[in-house]
Amino acid sequence: DAGITQSPRHKVTETGTPVTLRCHQTENHRYMYWYRQDPGHGLRLIHYSYGVKDTDKGEVSDGYSVSRSKTEDFLLTLESATSSQTSVYFCATRQNTEAFFGQGTRLTVV
Amino acid sequence: KNEVEQSPQNLTAQEGEFITINCSYSVGISALHWLQQHPGGGIVSLFMLSSGKKKHGRLIATINIQEKHSSLHITASHPRDSAVYICAVSASNTGNQFYFGTGTSLTVIP
Q: How far is CA A32 from the centre of its chain?
A: 9
Q: What is the pLDDT of residue B42?
A: 86
CA–CA dist B95, B29 (Å, integer): 9
Nearest residue in chain B measured CA to CA from A58: B97
CA–CA dist B18, B87 (Å, integer): 19
B chain contacts of residue A104, beta-carbon cutoff 8 Å:
41-43
Q: How far is CA A15 from the centre of its chain?
A: 19
CA–CA dist A102, A105 (Å, integer): 9
A3-62 pLDDT, tens digit each: 899 999 999 999 999 999 999 999 999 999 999 999 888 899 999 999 999 999 998 999
A chain contacts of residue B43, beta-carbon cutoff 8 Å:
90, 101, 104
Calculate the average pLDDT of chain B.
93
Does the pLDDT value for residue A107 go beyond 80? yes
User: In A, residues 74-103, which contact B (CB 8 Å cutoff)?
Assistant: 90, 92, 94, 97-103
Does the pLDDT value for residue B94 go beyond 80? no
CB proximity B71 to A under 8 Å: no
CA–CA dist B107, B11 (Å, integer): 6
B chain contacts of residue A48, beta-carbon cutoff 8 Å:
96-97
CB proximity A9 to B under 8 Å: no
